[in-house]
Amino acid sequence: MIRIGGATGYWGEADLALPQFLAEEHMDFIVFDYLAEITMSIMARAKASDPEKGYATDFVTAIVAPHLQRIAESGVKLISNAGGVNPEACGRAIKQLIADAGLSLKVAVITGDDLMPKVDQLLAAEPREMFTGEAPPPPEAIASANAYLGAFPIAAALDQGADIVVTGRCVDSAVTLGACIHRFGWQRSDLDLLAAGSLAGHLIECGPQVTGGNYTDWEEVADSLHEVGYPIAEIAADGGVVITKPGGTGGCVTRGSVGEQLLYEIGDPGDYRLPDVVCDFTNVTLEEIDTDRVSARGARGTEVPSHYKASVTWADGWRAGMICFYVGAKAAEKARIFADEAIQRARRKLAARGAPDYVDVSVEIVGDESHWGDAARYVRSREVAVKVACRHQDRRATDLLMRELSGAALGAPPGFCSFAGTRPKSSPVIRLFSILVDRDLPEICIHIEDQVRPFDDAKAVGMQSADETGTSSANDTPSDTSYEASVTANNNGVGLIEVPLERLAWARSGDKGDKANIGVMARKAEYLPWISAVLTSPYVASRFTHFMASPAIDRFELPGLPALNFVLHNVLGGGGVASLRNDPQAKGYAQILLDTPVAIPASLLEN
């Protein structure tokens, strides 16, 4: 058994984890995940201005540097994708720290994910965006292009004696799976084991999201989140996984907290595609085996994909936004007039200059009953926040609207308030273009002790599990109407009461590009049919019509948990920093769904 600590889930996260893990008596590996698609474009701009930048600098300055002596003494190994678009520079900075400290830790750097030198080759194939079918962006607009590498290069670096492994873009769970492959000797054909290691990596890749952060039952841990414990995965050679956290820390590890993270951003749970294995999580089961200890079993591997997913980020104009407040009677109405006043002024000036109109303008009034459309309850608030944002190909146009918003205050309805500061600045709109690339396109290399060793990661392409029975899809799960019929058939003479979904289930939501994922896990298996009968695809779509008239939606079942997962397509206004939404990453979508009324037999709740 090995113990792996999950220390970060994004670039900029708090630095609480490493001291917690170093205080533990036994830790084998600590893994760090810093990268998102937008992060790569930010790092690409940093490298363009300074060839020694383009990586997560705080991994070096806030993680390694202050704790280097303790890391060396403990024998724990660090695995991090902090390399971003410049892993070699990140490796050099760490090596310099080690040399200055007079230590002998060995650093390995993995390269090959960066496809920018091959952009012309990529575009020559006329690829289409794998989700939308869009044509590729213009070459001059591309900021970054990276393949999602897998875990086997990481395992090879550890096999060669590395104490610290730095990668560029790899799939988030690969930093955990690579440690498992190294320690247990798992082979490319061990698909179920690779799926189990990937499950462990998925559970800890977002740090404290699995230990009480963003938890439906947040009130249970509210008093301790200031010292929340970061997750530890205890993984056995047979693929058994236990999630726990350091002793004496805050937060919690429960079926609910772990189940929510399992559902987080997975899309089709029967076809969760990673570079090393396609995972089927539909029959994963969770069990609380002790306080703050939850076991996870049942992941299956079905095949090895023949391609890598690659993410291309590109600049598509500019965006800007401003948030201010209105107070008093009819606050929302006054806020709308203020926003409309500034927008009309800006549009008149654009027209006078012969400039095109804005690509998109968004006005959101948070606290107003109409903000959530039909999903809202009637509340006439006396205090609202109004956000106005816009997109345009010309930065001068987005700057113009910010100037008009700032300048309208004295001629607007009364009750305007704002936090003192400078006028908001425009920022680039970075859009994501996802494609599949041949596995032999990235030229993967392991840099260790002044040696560069090529690594072939295309050996197991197309390998399938011997007992493969096929993966699930939206059409393979029970239909919405079959659940409805099941509940109706068992409803004769049953006394029903209506309760909010939150009383019956845990839920968490997130994003993948322009898709929103909402996972709903029943607190008890017997609740699921009643939940499923209400959360039909049309009903869930209806809760988000204030964003999109008729969102396309897929519904998947995970009987092992038991749970449902919903994927809403093209519902985030472009997602990431391409969106003007107040919630471009769908973090609040589960909260919208959790107040859904569900009718259920009173006897089930009594039991």
- Which residue intervals of 329-412 are DSSP H helices? 331-352, 395-407
Q: Residue 179 domain-assigned?
A: yes
At residue 489, does pLDDT exceed 70?
A: no
Q: 81, 170 in Cβ contact below 8 A?
A: yes
Average of per-residue pLDDT values in the chain: 92
Peptide bond into 305 cis (omega under 30): no
Q: Which of 454, 489, 524 is the last residue of a domain?
A: 454
What average pLDDT does range 378-402 have in this prediction? 92
Both 231 and 90 in one domain: the answer is yes
Q: Residue 359 maps to which CATH number? A: 3.30.70
Secondary element (H or E) of residue 80: strand 77-80
Both 226 and 298 in one domain: the answer is yes
At residue 478, does pLDDT exceed 90?
A: no
% residues pLDDT > 70 (the chain) = 92
Tell me the per-residue pLDDT of 54-113, one tens digit each, with 9 for 90 and over.
999 999 999 999 999 999 999 999 999 999 999 999 999 999 999 999 999 999 999 999
Q: Residue 136 domain-assigned?
A: no
Q: 429, 358 in Cβ contact below 8 A?
A: no
Both 237 and 360 in one domain: the answer is no
Tell me the per-residue pLDDT of 253-310, one tens digit each, with 9 for 90 and over.
999 999 999 999 999 999 999 999 999 999 999 999 999 999 999 999 999 999 999 9
Both 524 and 585 in one domain: the answer is yes
What average pLDDT does range 121-130 have in this prediction? 91
Both 203 and 281 in one domain: the answer is yes
Query: Could you give the CA distance from residue 278 to residue 2 in angstroms, rounded to a whole number?
Result: 23
Which segment of 57-61, 66-70, 388-392, 581-585 scores lowest on mean pLDDT? Answer: 581-585
Answer whether 0.85 is exceeded by the pTM.
Answer: yes
Q: Residue 415 domain-assigned?
A: yes
Q: Residue 298 domain-assigned?
A: yes
Both 200 and 283 in one domain: the answer is yes
Query: Could you give the CA distance from residue 451 to residue 157 in angstroms, rounded to a whole number?
Result: 12
Which segment of 16-30, 134-148, 359-373, 470-484 scores lowest on mean pLDDT? Answer: 470-484
Residue 549, both tokens: 């008239």
Both 396 and 521 in one domain: the answer is no
Both 322 and 224 in one domain: the answer is no
Q: Residue 121 domain-assigned?
A: no
At residue 138, does pLDDT exceed 60?
A: yes
Checking 93-99 for CB contacts under 8 A at 24+ apart, the result is 93/52, 93/55, 93/57, 93/60, 94/60, 94/64, 94/164, 94/166, 97/60, 97/64, 97/65, 97/68, 98/68
pLDDT of residue 487: 60
SS3 for 222? helix
Both 420 and 550 in one domain: the answer is no
Number of domains the chain contains: 3
Q: 440, 458 in Cβ contact below 8 A?
A: yes
At residue 488, does pLDDT exceed 80?
A: no
Q: Residue 377: which pLDDT band, with cuts at 50, 70 and 90?
A: low
> In sequence order, what DSSP letters do the residues of 489-548 get, joined into one string?
HT-TTPPEEEEEGGGTEEEEEEEETTEEEEEEEESSGGGHHHHHHHS-HHHHHHTTTTT-
pLDDT of residue 482: 56
Which segment of 295-299, 404-408, 467-471, 515-519 scores lowest on mean pLDDT? Answer: 467-471
Residue 273: beta bridge partners? 278
Which domain does 541 fall in, by range? 480-606
Residue 352, both tokens: 């006078």
At residue 333, does pLDDT exceed 70?
A: yes
Q: Which amino acid is at 118?
A: K
What average pLDDT does range 338-357 have in this prediction? 98
Both 207 and 321 in one domain: the answer is no
pLDDT of residue 400: 98
Q: 199, 282 in Cβ contact below 8 A?
A: no
At residue 369, does pLDDT exceed 80?
A: no
Query: Could you give the CA distance from residue 24 to residue 230 in angstroms, rounded to a whole number?
Result: 12
Backbone angles phi, psi at 199, to 5 degrees: -60, -45
Q: Residue 475 domain-assigned?
A: no
Strands of the sheet with 563-569, listed across from one edge: 505-512, 515-522, 563-569, 552-558
pLDDT of residue 513: 85
Q: 172, 201 in Cβ contact below 8 A?
A: yes
The strand pair at 142-147 and 307-327 is best described as antiparallel
Q: Residue 125 domain-assigned?
A: no
What average pLDDT does range 465-484 have in this prediction? 50
Both 448 and 420 in one domain: the answer is no
Both 519 and 599 in one domain: the answer is yes
Q: Residue 546 domain-assigned?
A: yes
- Contacts of residue 377, defined as CB under 8 A and 6 or more positions apart, other chains included, come to 369
pLDDT of residue 131: 87
Give Cα separations from 102 to 72, 99, 451 (angstroms): 11, 5, 21
